[in-house]
Amino acid sequence: MTIRRENGESVEAQAPVIVSASRSTDIPAFYADWFLHRLKTGYSAWTNPFNGVRSYVAYADTRLIVFWSKNPEPLLDAGGCLDYLAERGINCYIQYTLNDYVGEQLERGVPPVQRRIDTFRRIVDKIGFGKVIWRFDPMILTDRIGTDEILSKVERIGSQLKGYTEKLVFSFADIRTYRKVQNNLIKNDIHYREFSEGDMLSVARGLAGLNRRWGYTLATCGEKIDLGSFGIVHNKCVDDDLIIRLFPHDKALMDFLGVEIVKGDLFNPAGRIIKHRDNKDKGQRLYCGCIVSKDIGEYNTCTHLCEYCYANTSKQTAVRNRRRHLNYPYAETITGE
């Protein structure tokens, strides 16, 4: 698609149907106003983190936004993103990471746990049940956090979310995979340890026990291990099955997914859903189940400053980019460059 930039230049842009906002940073917490402005403007710019090449993303065809956040409270602002999307008939759902590492100071920049639980409930009340997915992500082991402590933290939050979510998504921190995370933890004197298979099975067993009270769908994110014997499935965070269930009325979205919805008749009153193609995003990690979307975030811009963050090279770089953004809050890019 050819678009016209604010400076008058014509450029080619991607026009995604599904936008991920974002795996790379917390757009709802820190850049909600920027994103709303870019939606209204019709496009934003994105810099490839591997080769530094800038490209453009147009929102003319966008039918779904998948938000990822640890503090999506700014989305609730009157006249903000959620209101705008509702007015425009653009669908959304939220992957809401709600951990409890405050006492261990692993997440220094997030609001208190109870406030985040209250925010979760308020967003569900606004956009509907099923559209806010609870993530306890990642689960991390340290000299202060063992599997029993993780399960206690999950229990405290999960008991307060009953009736507000239908799913718990979790992952096991794999520190060895991310060298910069490993270096940051060591530098900040965080004594972590990797999950053994026994640790994973212990957590799975404990979650299955807790879930007898809750009735959530339990799902792992990007994990190789099969925990099906505990009733735990492999997740798709950008999930075509969920999208079909939540938004079957959106023909453009269904067409993009290659979905045919056959209305019920005398012999099959419930009708049928036929998926004509596999939508898996082959550009994601090996065990990621997500379908194709366009992520619009930028690394080194999240100032929650979590100790285990994989998306920031350093806290200083993230803070510097955030300050630049505040000087140019409605620029084409998040960073203002």
Distance separating alpha carbons of residues 147 and 205, to the nearest angstrom: 11
Three-state SS letters, 281-293: CCCCCCCCCCECC
Under 8 Å between Cβ of 37 and 84: no
pLDDT score of 62: 98
Q: What is the mean pLDDT of the chain?
A: 95
Is 6 part of a structural domain of the chain? yes
**288 band by pLDDT with thresholds 50, 70 and 90:** very high
pLDDT, tens digit, 9 for 90 and up, residues 12-60: 999 999 999 999 999 999 999 999 999 999 999 999 988 889 999 999 9
Average pLDDT over residues 214-235: 98
Q: pLDDT-based confidence at 291, cuts 50/70/90?
A: very high
- CA 220 to chain centroid: 14
Q: What mean pLDDT is predicted for residues 270-297?
A: 92
**pLDDT computed for residue 121 by the predictor:** 98
Task: Report pLDDT for 70.
Answer: 98
Indicate whether 254 belongs to any domain: no
- Examine residue 332 and state whether it is found in any structural domain, yes or no: no
At residue 61 the predicted structure's pLDDT band, cuts being 50, 70 and 90, is very high
| Residues 239, 145: Cα–Cα separation, whole Å | 31
With respect to residue 336, please indicate whether it lies within any of the assigned structural domains: no
How confident is the model at residue 82, as a pLDDT?
98
Distance, CA of 19 to CA of 170 (rounded, Å): 22
In a domain, 199, yes or no: yes
Q: Residue 237: what pLDDT?
A: 97
d(CA 13, CA 19): 14
pTM of the model: 0.96
Q: Categorize the per-residue pLDDT at 267 as very low, low, confident or very high, splitting at 50, 70 and 90.
A: confident
Q: Per residue in 160-219, pLDDT tens?
A: 999 999 999 999 999 988 888 888 888 888 999 999 999 999 999 999 999 999 999 999
Confidence of residue 266 (pLDDT cuts 50, 70, 90): confident
Does any domain span residue 141?
A: yes
**At which residue do the structure tokens 């220094």 appear?**
108
User: Please, what is the angle between helix 113-127 and helix 147-161, to 10°?
Assistant: 40
Instruction: Indicate the number of domains in the chain.
Output: 1
Provide mean pLDDT across the span 81-89: 97
Residue 68 has pLDDT above 80, yes or no: yes
Domain that holds residue 174: 2-238+281-327
CA–CA separation, 261 and 251 (whole Å): 9
**pLDDT of 107 higher than 80:** yes
Asked if the structure places residue 243 within a domain, the reply is: no
Report the pLDDT averaged over residues 112-132. 98
Look at residue 265 in the predicted model and tell me its pLDDT: 78
* 270 within a domain of the structure (yes/no): no
- The residue that leads in pLDDT, 188 or 145, is 145
Q: What percent of the chain has pLDDT over 90?
A: 85
Question: Is the pLDDT at 270 greater than 80, yes or no?
Answer: no
Higher pLDDT, 28 or 267: 28
